[in-house]
Chains A and B, each alone.
Chain A
Amino acid sequence: MFRKLLALFLATSKVGVAAYGGGPSMIPLLKVEVVENYKWMNIEEFTDALAVGNALPGPIATKMTAVVGYKVAGALGAAVSVLGMILPSIILILALLGAVNAVKDQPRVVSMLRGLRPVVVAMLAYAAWDMIPGSMIGAMTWIIGCVALALMIVTKIHPALLIAAGAGVGIFLKL
């Protein structure tokens, strides 16, 4: 049991540290560990878990690791996996922020850090581009998506309301 938990911790912390740009970039890395290296799940189970992770609210990386941990070693496994995902990155963030803070008041550093912006936005744009087609199953969901997008641009409706409306319309769909 201890061995299993240790393996879960090591696998998830490896993924957590290597994943930049959030959920979309960590999913392929997690798949390698879970399906290929440790063989905790087969590819169908992983795809199902991903669908569940996508469908529920909250950060996807954390949810996915919780699902994997739960499958391997129950509630304790889920706790250890989530911890493995979070802890090493917190330590790294602490170190990185420390380094940034030490130099951040020099004007040259400030303008360099501003330069991160287009790079970050590009990563987000690519992640979104990569993710959106996977969330659409069938023509009706594209219609829901386009209507929601138009409403979001034109009105100031809270996104949570639009998502609830999407779910409401979805129930009456023919897939």
Chain B
Amino acid sequence: MGTDGSGTMNPFDVFLFFFKISSMTFGGGIAILGMVRLEMHQRGVLSGEEVEEICNFSVVMPGPIAVSVAYMLGRRLAGFRGALCGILGAALPPFLIILLLAPFFLRYFHNPFVKKFFAGVLAAVAAMIAAMVARSVRKTLSLRRLNFIAYAAVIAMIALLGLHPLLALLAGFILQTAVFAGAGALEKNRTRGKGE
């Protein structure tokens, strides 16, 4: 990932791809990642593993998730111009939506009809995010059982200790590296023990 594009899509297609996802996806960055996975899977231009890797990276990069994923996927699919087109596609819809609708919304948001409409939208969005996150959690934990240690530690650090997400991220990453280095050393010792 991150290497310059292999020309699998042209920059304008990348723009349209992100413009469409950004203007139609409710629920912010996490939901957008879900849509990116779904749409990329349907197009089949990149392997699922590669899309997964890009999506994971976009979460740990600074700034909005949608912008990070647009940058990285755009670059992978269509080079640097693809990256810029991706960002434009991701950022333009929220900007336009606010310009066009904010005056209207700030006035009518307390209208019961509008409120109920969005209550329904938000409930379905929450369900979608729950389903997506649960899927990633299950996949990650079943991949390697030891992953659970870093997973649980990061949640505890953010939820119980109130650590800044960036610190929790660094601590979790160090912990994960240490756990696997330790497991690797144990494994090596055991096989060496058998050999002698």
Contact = CB atoms under 8 A, between A and B. Distances in A.
Interface of A: 16-23, 25-26, 48-49, 51-52, 54-63, 66-67, 70, 75, 78-79, 82, 85-86, 88-90, 92-93, 96-97, 100-101, 104, 111-113, 115-129, 131-132, 135-138, 140-142, 144-146, 148-149, 152-153, 159-160, 162-163, 165-173, 175
B122 to A, nearest CB: 4
Contacts of B168: 123
Given A62-B67, A118-B141, A163-B26, A89 B119 contact: no
A167 to B, nearest CB: 4
Q: What 6 pairs between A and B have smallest CB-CB spacing? A: A170-B120, A89-B63, A166-B124, A22-B29, A60-B28, A59-B66
A156 to B, nearest CB: 10
Given A59-B29, A127-B30, A132 B67 contact: no
Given A57-B22, A167-B121, 9 more contacts: A16-B63, A82-B95, A90-B67, A125-B151, A126-B158, A144-B127, A145-B124, A162-B124, A166-B121
Contact of B128 (A22, A61, A163): A163
Given A57-B23, A124-B30, A145 B126 contact: yes
Contacts of A21: 59-60, 65, 165, 169
Nearest to A45: B106
Contacts of B172: 118-119, 122
Looking at chain B's contact residues, the main secondary structure is helix
B65 A22 contact: yes
Contact of B91 (A82, A140, A167): A82
Contacts of B45: none
A168 B72 CA distance: 36
Contacts of A171: 113, 116-117, 120
A126 B173 CA distance: 16
Contacts of A63: 94, 97-98
